[in-house]
Structure 1
Amino acid sequence: MTASRSDLRLTGLTKRFSGFTAVDGLDLTISQGEFFALLGPSGCGKTTTLRMIAGLEEPTGGSIHLGDLDVTEKKPYQRPVNTVFQNYALFPHLSVFENVAFGLRRRGVKDVKKQALEALDLVELGHLAQRRPAQLSGGQQQRIALARAVVNRPQVLLLDEPLGALDLKLRRQMQIELKRIQTEVGITFVHVTHDQEEAMTMADRVAVMNHGKIEQLGAPAELYEAPGTTFVANFLGQSNLVAVTRSGTDGQYTMVDVGGQKLRIRTDRCSSEGELLLGVRPEKIRLHSAADPVPSGLNQLTGGVVLDASYLGVSTQYLVRMPWGQNLTVFAQNLGIGERFSDGSAVQLAWEPDHSFGLAGDAGAGVESTLED
């Protein structure tokens, strides 16, 4: 990606605490106007990275540039950056209007009323301007915190787990609202979260972090459909990862073997050397009765036995024991057609070869179908 004069650039950014490296030589360019997500588990370094961008944490090494401006050693108030925190940090003694106007007054802006009301209208809460924060719901308080940050028109808006305190339904509503607001104001958003759905719903690009480094960077669909490591495959969604043996090539496909059964992976989606894990997402697999014919051209695994069937409303989650002793997960959408399998059913699994991906991995690494959290 070619850097422009307005991009946020992190170069070799490092933060060490005593005996621990939280962020390890991070190189990252975030485009102006982009909605960017830093995604990863607790302790991966994403929040420390955000705090260094904000000026709340001093880097051990590396640099931070906003366009042509080197802000690495500048104080927080000297940076064209605002932060929205999970706990909102609203002033309880001030009205909603005064909370939003606070930053404008500190900067000596003359037309405070017009800009503050426009920011409240942006988050659709202009009618609550005279209320106090304690009189608002959690979702409304989050919108006020966002309006207070956006009204200053920062070059970059940092969001630190901003929806973590909201219940599931409200969180999903706010995901849509945040994306709408970001699109309207055109400010660069850098969003820290451990919630994969949140990152995929809102972000233009996602950086998956692990142990202070970026494991993989790209558009949400790219990371989901073609994960580059076992960590990404299991953190961003759920994956079945099966240790396989290479057995040759067939045109654009690499042929592999597991328990004497032949499968195919597109060679361009396959690690080029070393031990190999075949990955396939649970929702890509279709279950068939052991006695039914499977359409030709599909990857097929026979000899499965259903260990558990969990009805989840929109889908049924099956846990299937395979002949080589591994349990694989299948998500079958509940369309009201087709067979629903019970515990103990003999089944076979089938999926399009193009839905497989091949990852490098030493023996046993991430082989079980798991969901990291």
Structure 2
Amino acid sequence: MVTETNGGDLRLVDLTRRFGAVTAVDQLTLTVGQGAFFALLGASGSGKTTTLRMVAGLEEPTAGQVFLGDRDITRLRPYRRPVNTVFQSYALFPHLDVAENVAFGLRRRGIRQVRPQVERMLALVQLDGYGRRRPTELSGGQQQRVALARALINNPQVLLLDEPLGALDLTLRRRMQTELKRIQIEVGVTFVHVTHDQEEAMTMADTVAVMNAGRIEQVGAPADLYEFPATAFVANFLGQSNLLAAEAAGRTGSEVAVTAYGTRFTVPVGRARADRGPVHLGVRPEKLRLATSADEVPDGHQHVAGVVSDAAYVGVSTQYLVRTGWGSELSVFVANDGSGGRYAVGASVFAYWRPEHAFLLPRELATVDAGTPPRDEPPVATGVTASSGRTARESR
């Protein structure tokens, strides 16, 4: 069902793309607000790049429609769409200087007086005075800015960015994240940024859509997705999560009572996406604290006893694995702010958290994934890395 949107919104309606027996994008319906910085986030094979290519006109949908405002652009040729794309490879013309690379789109449209527009675009991307240089004389970050200026000079209604920072080193990538956000705010063009990098999406985008197996798992502001994920996949893909297999007994006032491994916990109703039956009780590693005795656990907190099985100093924090009495491990990130001590491997500890920092997700009993055990094995809790699904210790 299509809802009314304002004139410049990008709308994908039941968009589907199949390659033989493989469905890359499966009935995807999504609205990107006009002027938004929107990130389409997913692992390799999730369908995000195929979605971008269908919006650009580089891939023909098997079914569904692409609207820009009230205009159906599904069958338009790429050059007839008010859409431009910046690719990871930049695709600059080595035989042209920077100014002519930026002017290329205007030249093709028959515009002769291009110098004012080119100079304005180079100033926007902070490359004043670089017009006479060749692409080979520029750094990777500067080439990326030229590609961006070349796309923006055509005044697209939507700018598509396909992993544009993937070829840059970490320091430059972080600097360019800030630059891209600044440019987007200044020009006001809708940016749709495709990436597999969670930090990149959360740093730049106003809204993030997490894709998995050709479908959208959750859409929202970065903080909302991180603090209150809708599914176990989102909880594990954005950062790390400890997911405890539990049973919810329903609401009691403003709380939902759950039982995990013989211990009763509570979660505020507003933090529960399911309040009865099989659930995941989730807590982010940075929300956990450690104590050496139950007496040190503050009032109003909930806790689990265990033994430190691994410790890794990573600068801003020390990352611990705590093996629980039921045999699985919880990830705990303790900030190195000088307020607490270190915990040695083998030390007995209590991992504790505030109830309002936990969340509940529905759990399918038949599903075997990072947070759900097989039926014929005892339940486990997991600290899962966003990139690979491995435990914190394995990922190092």
Which bin holds the TM-score, normalised by the shorter protein?
Answer: over 0.9
Distance of 1:215 and 1:250 partners within structure 2: 29
Output the TM-score relative to the length of structure 2: 0.91
Which residue matches 1:218? 220
Amino acid at match of 2:222: P
Change (3 A) 1:291 1:246: closer
Amino acid at match of 1:218: G
Which residue matches 1:327? 329
Amino acid at match of 2:292: S
What RMSD in Å do the two structures reach over aligned CA positions? Answer: 1.3
Instruction: Tell me the percent identity.
Output: 60
Q: Do residues 83 (structure 1) and 85 (structure 2) align?
A: yes
Shift in Å at residue 294 of structure 1? 1.0
SS in structure 2 of the partner of residue 343 of structure 1: coil
Shift in Å at residue 257 of structure 1? 2.1
Which residue matches 1:251? 253
Amino acid at match of 2:286: E
Amino acid at match of 2:326: W
Shift in Å at residue 248 of structure 1? 5.6
Distance of 1:292 and 1:139 partners within structure 2: 53
Which residue matches 1:165? 167
Which sits farther off after the overlay, 107-116 or 357-366? 357-366
Q: Do residues 369 (structure 1) and 386 (structure 2) align?
A: no
Distance of 1:21 and 1:348 partners within structure 2: 46
Change (3 A) 1:132 1:365: same
Contact 1:259–1:323 at 8 Å: present in 2 too? no
Which residue matches 1:281? 284
Equivalent positions of 1:202-217 (< 5 A) are: 202-217=204-219
Which residue matches 1:108? 110
Shift in Å at residue 339 of structure 1? 1.4
Equivalent positions of 1:145-164 (< 5 A) are: 145-164=147-166
SS in structure 1 of the partner of residue 277 of structure 2: coil
Which residue matches 2:303? 300
Contact 1:32–1:188 at 8 Å: present in 2 too? yes
Amino acid at match of 1:122: L
Distance of 1:194 and 1:319 partners within structure 2: 26
Shift in Å at residue 369 of structure 1? 1.8
Q: Do residues 42 (structure 1) and 44 (structure 2) align?
A: yes
Change (3 A) 1:169 1:40: same
Shift in Å at residue 282 of structure 1? 0.4
Which residue matches 2:315? 313
Contact 2:206–2:222 at 8 Å: present in 1 too? yes
Equivalent positions of 1:16-165 (< 5 A) are: 16-165=18-167
SS in structure 2 of the partner of residue 340 of structure 1: coil
Contact 1:160–1:193 at 8 Å: present in 2 too? yes
Shift in Å at residue 273 of structure 1? 3.3
Contact 2:207–2:221 at 8 Å: present in 1 too? yes
Amino acid at match of 1:192: V
Shift in Å at residue 210 of structure 1? 0.5
Distance of 1:234 and 1:320 partners within structure 2: 18
Shift in Å at residue 214 of structure 1? 0.3
Cα deviation digits, residues 294-346 of structure 1 (max 9, x gap): 110012112x1001110000000001101111100001110012111010111
Amino acid at match of 2:282: G
SS in structure 2 of the partner of residue 114 of structure 1: helix
Distance of 1:12 and 1:250 partners within structure 2: 39
1:290 maps to which of 290, 293, 296? 293
Contact 1:6–1:32 at 8 Å: present in 2 too? yes
Distance of 2:113 and 2:309 partners within structure 1: 66
Which residue matches 1:177? 179
SS in structure 1 of the partner of residue 233 of structure 2: helix
Which residue matches 2:357? 355
Shift in Å at residue 256 of structure 1? 1.7
Distance of 2:295 and 2:137 partners within structure 1: 61
Distance of 2:40 and 2:251 partners within structure 1: 37
Distance of 1:160 and 1:110 partners within structure 2: 30
Distance of 2:369 and 2:253 partners within structure 1: 29
Distance of 2:283 and 2:7 partners within structure 1: 41
Task: Point out where structure 1 has 5 or more consecutive residues left out of the alignment.
Answer: none
Which residue matches 2:5? 3
Distance of 1:342 and 1:251 partners within structure 2: 41
Change (3 A) 1:2 1:264: farther
Amino acid at match of 1:148: R
Distance of 1:117 and 1:233 partners within structure 2: 45
Which residue matches 2:394? none
Distance of 1:109 and 1:345 partners within structure 2: 72
Shift in Å at residue 250 of structure 1? 4.0
Cα deviation digits, residues 24-66 of structure 1 (max 9, x gap): 1111111110000100000010000000000000010011111
Output the TM-score relative to the length of structure 1: 0.97
Distance of 2:68 and 2:247 partners within structure 1: 48
Question: May I ask how many residue pairs the two structures share in their alignment?
Answer: 372
Distance of 1:183 and 1:246 partners within structure 2: 44
Contact 2:12–2:30 at 8 Å: present in 1 too? yes
